Amino acid sequence: MCGIVAYLGKKEAYPILIKGLERLEYRGYDSAGVALFNNGNLNLYKKQGKVANLVEFAKDKDTSGSLGIAHTRWATHGEPNDRNAHPHFSGNESIAIIHNGIIENYDVLKEELKKRGYVFKSDTDTEVLVHLIEDIQKSEGVKLSEAVRMALMNVTGAYAICVISKDDPNTLVAARKSSPLVVGIGRENDFYLASDATPIIEYTNKVVYLDDEEIAVVNLEKGLKIYSLQDEEKTPYVQELEMQLEALEKGGYEHFMLKEIHEQPRSINDCFRGRLNSVEGWVELGGIKEFEKKFTKAKRIVMVACGTSWHACLVGEYLFEDLARINVEVEYASEFRYRNPIIEEGDIVIAVSQSGETADTLAALELAKSKGAIILGICNVVGSSISRITHAGSYTHAGPEIGVASTKAFTAQVTVLTLMALSIAKKKGTISESKFRTMLAELEAIPAKVSEVLKTNDLIEKISAQYKDASNALYLGRGSSFPVALEGALKLKEISYIHAEGYPAAEMKHGPIALIDDEMPVFVVATEGPSYEKVVSNIQEVKARKGKIIAVVTEGDTQVREMADSVIEIPATDEHLVPLLATIPFQLLSYHIAVMRGCNVDQPRNLAKSVTVE
């Protein structure tokens, strides 16, 4: 939520900053802005809307300079307009700031600053911080980094900030608490700062992920220094990035979402590569190995997540309960954190998050940790906050997901949860050797089967054309296909703005059936398995009310085909793995419907990818 990028070095900063903003645009696209130091001045340009608007606005302006900060905004405090766009200037316009996060005590600070004569030009919480920095510099006579540190001692809330001053053009000061910030150490004594590594990767693979309450002071002569909020110097921990530049490009696809849907054979394969062997009969997740014993003894697993990741957890619940016989509770992180939840000794709390930065998930984990739980993470973004506060965890290795709607992250999360459940089931002896081996072999076959499902794209495009003007849609599934129904509905509503609901198929008759008429599309997962006949009955109930049935069925199905208006076949697989296949037609369907409705597929309205505010 909000993307920040900054540069200090010898190169022209503007093109680096703009490219960086384009990479970070998935974090918010309400406005964009840049501040550049040149010839003793700070030039500030900002514009409502996307980065492209900023580029158009700045095209005939002076954009030179080798020190700059830039921001793409997801509005929290104050409307998305030019005035509230970042960067923000201090009162005397000598200091500029960019900020991702929320300053919670901004109103108290604002009143104090107003009394001291500061005039506010925006409605943002951020502007308070930059005035405060200026005020401290003036009253204490300290250098910029010290003023930033002292200002931060006075704020509560979340922040990733970068601050520059025209009085100290060799220095860039940055800090973080609960919002991510990465410092890239360039090859030419230059420095790149950003919310994630994507704007940095083409310049350097040497990065330092800032920890909470750390301040980075980057200086052209002294290099990178890191301090705690208490002013103790720390040794920067330099890591090597493994990300590939191609992963950040559309690679010939019209949208990132379509590319990411089509990447799933590879991303699922990357997710289990080296972690299982069906011939030798083993599965191993290195990241959680030391906690296996605790897992086998655990009476309860609590999974916390938001959105699509929460749906992956629901699939995980079926897997862990059925295979490993461990009681699982799946919690919305935002509810869990405010409910004084009961955590007992030996409870394991697993957070699932693509970004690893979701504020509610992070807070839920911190709460569980403070109550003595073992906390584990399943994240996609390497080095993310969740991956760093957990006791252990497993990365999904899906590669960068740029489309705001989550697709390949979901299937990778389900894959890791499957591996985890299988490995614990094996250790506990709650799965037979033959079932274990069959499931491993089935899992290894999933990428090829996903490729088969992707071949239904043209059929799905035709089906999409029939339902693109619907105002409502229902998604139904039973067992672990119920979360697939929820996920299908979420995908449709978030990118095409059609109202959609996911339901356990049998729940339909307890209310939603009243909605069904001859215009209502009902998308049903009706694959082979123990509940097949029951789902068939639910389909009959919809048909009797003239609803339109679009069913995802197992290859060769004839029964549902006779009843449904359209069927999409997926290859047969183990019932526990059906979500990995059945979710893909729904991703494609949402994609095509959104494109046909002229929606911005990769950047749907009001959304941002990394939700770093609660």
Instruction: For residue 307, state whether it binds ligand F6R (rule: CB under 6 A).
Output: yes
Q: Which residues lie across from 503 on neighbouring strands? A: 476
Residue with smaller CB distance to ligand F6R, 131 or 259: 259
**What letter would DSSP give residue 541?**
H
Distance (Å, rounded) from C-alpha 404 to C-alpha 398?
A: 15
Binding of ligand F6R by 353 (CB under 6 A): yes
**Nearest CB to ligand F6R, comparing residues 63 and 406:** 406
Residue 381 or 520 with smaller CB distance to ligand F6R: 381
Q: Which one among 63, 179, 267, 309 touches ligand F6R, defined by CB under 6 A? A: 309
Measured from the CB atom, the residue of 406 and 423 that comes closer to ligand F6R is 406
CA trace torsion 372, 313, 595, 461 (10° rounding) = 170
Task: Pick the piece of the chain touching ligand F6R (CB under 6 A) from 82-90, 173-181, 303-311, 567-575.
Answer: 303-311
304 in helix, strand or coil? strand
The yes-or-no answer on residue 462 being catalytic is no
Give me the least distance between CB of 217 and ligand F6R, in Å please.
30
Contacts to ligand F6R from residues 491-520, by CB under 6 A: 494
Residue 330 binds ligand F6R, judged by CB under 6 A: no
The residue whose Cβ lies closest to ligand F6R is 307
Contact call for residues 149 and 109 (beta carbons, < 8 A)? no
- In the bound state with ligand F6R, the residue whose beta carbon lies nearer, of 166 and 408, is 408
Tell the smallest beta-carbon distance from residue 543 to ligand F6R (Å).
31
What's the start-to-end Cα distance of the chain, in Å? 11
Of 575, 459, 599, 490, nearest in space to 525 by CA: 575
Q: Report DSSP letters for 513-540, one per residue.
A: GGG--TT-EEEEEE-SSTTHHHHHHHHH
Spatial separation of the C-alpha atoms in residues 395 and 274, rounded to whole Å: 13
Q: Does 178 bind ligand F6R (CB under 6 A)?
A: no
Interaction of residue 9 with ligand F6R, rule CB under 6 A: no
β-pair type (223-228, 214-219)? antiparallel
Q: Using the rule CB under 6 A, is 590 a contact of ligand F6R? A: no
Angle between helices 408-428 and 307-319 (to 10 degrees): 30
* Residue 57 C-beta: closest distance to ligand F6R, Å: 30
Q: Based on CB atoms, which residue is closest to ligand F6R, 311 or 478?
A: 311
Provide the mask over 461-490, with x wherever binding to ligand F6R is found by CB under 6 A and - wherever it is not: -----------------------------x
Catalytic option among 2, 271, 313, 599: 2
Q: How many of the chain's residues bind ligand F6R (CB under 6 A)? A: 14
Q: Provide the minimum distance between the beta carbon of 484 and ligand F6R in the complex, in angstroms, as a whole number.
A: 14
Q: What are phi and psi of 89, to 5 degrees?
A: -90, 155
Q: Which of 38, 137, 390, 406 binds ligand F6R (CB under 6 A)?
A: 406
Please give the distance of CA 28 from its chain centroid, rounded to a whole number: 12
Give the nearer residue to ligand F6R in terms of CB position, either 169 or 356. 356
Angle between helices 578-596 and 482-496 (to 10 degrees): 20
Q: Which of 38, 179, 204, 355 binds ligand F6R (CB under 6 A)?
A: 355
Omega within 30 of 0 (cis) for the link into 87 = yes
Query: How many residues does this entry show for the chain?
Result: 614
Question: Nearest CA to 512 among 488, 541, 490?
Answer: 541
Answer yes or no whether residue 361 interacts with ligand F6R by CB under 6 A. yes
d(CA 178, CA 613): 9
Query: Considering the complex, what minimum distance in angstroms separates the CB of residue 308 from ligand F6R?
Result: 3
Answer yes or no: 609 catalytic.
Answer: yes
Nearer to ligand F6R, 306 or 319 (CB): 306
* Helix/strand/coil percent split, the chain, to 5: 40, 25, 35
Q: Tell me how many degrees the CA angle 561-567-571 measures, rounded to the nearest 5.
A: 100
- Chain residues in the site for ligand F6R (CB under 6 A): 306-309, 353-355, 358, 361, 405-406, 490, 494, 611
Active-site amino acid positions: 2, 609
